[in-house]
Amino acid sequence: MLNLQFEPVFDIKKIEGRAPNMWRYREALPIQHDENILSFQEGFTPLIPLLFSGKEVLLKQDHLFPTGSYKDRGASVMISKVREWGLNKVVEDSSGNAGSSVAAYCAKGDIDCQIYCPDSTSSGKLVQIEMYGAVLNKIPGTREDTSIAVLKAAEKTFYASHIWNPFFFQGTKTFAFEVCEQLGWAAPDTVVLPAGNGTLILGAAIGFKELAESGVIEKIPQFIAVQAENCAPIYQAYVRKKGLNSRFQGEKTLAEGIAISKPARGEQILQVVHESQGEVITVSEEEIRQSLLSLSSKGYFIEPTSAAVTAGIDKYIQGLNKNEVIVSVITGHGLKASGKIREIQKLY
């Protein structure tokens, strides 16, 4: 289940008078009582223009969140809900960023937290998780091995999953609210977003839909979903026009945040792409490296996973000859993965 029975309200005058953070859309966020809200006043990140092959793209700087990735959007709402339910202990599994984020909000809410991560996760993220006071379990093998390990723990403890819990997507939907507000309460023509488990793309789809249904915007943008060529189960299903292959096993990729072989919500991601007449595209490891170097040289120090998205922008823009408003995102901060980035830098 992705959607909740919940009526969001957008009172534009009220919203515009509030502090610049994601909780300015208070009446559209499903937390009942204000005292349960766990917030660092996160969000309302700058939307800034950058040229890609001479064309302007608006980049949402979601690497500027308190923990260094957009996952804070989801964790702020989901862990607030955990507090509203009166729970005091959670488990979560992640390739690093969702884990850091959940750990930070649990620290703020004084909630016990155990995080499961693949042992190959960037050390910056692992240090961050432990510094927030969470118990860290490093699991050998693939991202899927980590998912299997957490299920055992989830038999006894509440599973605060950024993939399964619908409240996480109620947080990531604020991406769409902010973009539309920053464009003068209008939707862009196109959004270029990463697709691993789809926590941003599916959240954004909910957000645009709610704004359209409330009459705030007139159309839903077209969704361009970006995957790493080395791990692209959604792309394969897209080109074969078939469902996702449950036996798909991807290869290693620099884009560790979207290295998801068995995306639990893969069919929903495909649906969002199809309904918006968008597309799924892939980027190679070399394209990811080049984009990382290019963005850094312009002053944007981003994670390799983020560079997969910016490489996707380059690819989408090639051959585009109409004028459209394109919005994309910097999903994670480079400081989280400086070790891995150093390895890339050494190659050139």
Ligand X SMILES: *Cc1c(COP(=O)(O)O)cnc(C)c1O
- Binding residues for ligand X, per CB under 6 A? 69, 71, 97, 194-200, 257-258, 260, 303, 305-306, 331-332
d(Cα 287, Cα 312) in Å, to the nearest integer? 9
Shortest Cβ 231–ligand X spacing (Å): 11
Instruction: Give 68-97 as a 3 state SS string.
Output: CECHHHHHHHHHHHHHHCCCCEEEEECCCH
Give the residue with the Cβ less far from ligand X, 91 or 226.
226
| DSSP structural state of residue 159 | E
Give the residue with the Cβ less far from ligand X, 109 or 198.
198
d(Cα 99, Cα 64) in Å, to the nearest integer? 17
Give the residue with the Cβ less far from ligand X, 91 or 217.
91
Q: Which of 229, 223, 217 is CA-nearest to residue 198?
A: 223
Give the residue with the Cβ less far from ligand X, 109 or 196.
196
Give the residue with the Cβ less far from ligand X, 200 or 217.
200
Residue in the block written with tokens 């069919």: 267
Task: Check if the beta carbon of residue 244 is closer than 8 Å to that of residue 267.
Answer: yes
Shortest Cβ 218–ligand X spacing (Å): 27
Angle at which helices 71-84 and 97-109 pack, to 10 degrees?
A: 40
Q: C-alpha 325: how far from its chain's center? A: 21
Shortest Cβ 204–ligand X spacing (Å): 11
Shortest Cβ 11–ligand X spacing (Å): 30
Shortest Cβ 33–ligand X spacing (Å): 28
